[in-house]
Structure 1
């Protein structure tokens, strides 16, 4: 099991949330700010099986590119999204006591 942390520009956040839900992914969405990617970012936490990492990554890219075709590109876009992958050792969902 992997934890994918995806920090997306707010321009794409609603589309990412809606389309990944339709694809069957569950996530936690956090509004975030700070100096890492400046303000205007949303952080998504996805718990996914290791075999789904490439599929989800490609889906996120496709979602952003499709959205740009519909809405146009954000003029001052510094990033669409950036993601990090972490091993999730306690993937049972039960609290560790």
Structure 2
């Protein structure tokens, strides 16, 4: 299992959210700001099997180009998205300590 952290230019956020949901990707969306990547970005966290990682990258790019085709232009920002891939093989889920079942 891999965790992809994908920082998306806000111009593409709605399209990516819609298309990735429709394709069944597991994701969490976070509003983000700060100096690392300029303001006007949204961060998506994707949990993806290693074998599907290249598909996810292609699907993200396709979502951006689909929006550009619809709107007839690209975002003013120099990039569509930036991503990082981390190993999630040691991920752990913690339950509610009050729930004894």
TM-score normalized with structure 1 length:
0.90
Tell me what 2:99 maps to.
none
Tell me how far 1:15 sits from its aligned partner. 0.6
Tell me, in whole angstroms, the C-alpha distance in 2 between the residues paired with 1:30 and 1:75: 20
Whichever of the two has the greater Rg, that structure is: 2
Conservation of the 8 A alpha-carbon contact between 2:28 and 2:46: yes
Tell me how far 1:79 sits from its aligned partner. 1.1
Tell me how far 1:35 sits from its aligned partner. 1.0
**Aligned-residue CA RMSD (Å):** 1.5
Aligned pairs, number: 95
Tell me, in whole angstroms, the C-alpha distance in 2 between the residues paired with 1:23 and 1:81: 19
Tell me what 2:98 maps to.
none
Give 3-state SS (helix, strand or coil) of 1:24's partner.
Answer: coil
Q: What stretches of structure 1 of length at least 5 have no aligned partner? A: none
Q: What stretches of structure 2 of length at least 5 have no aligned partner? A: 96-101
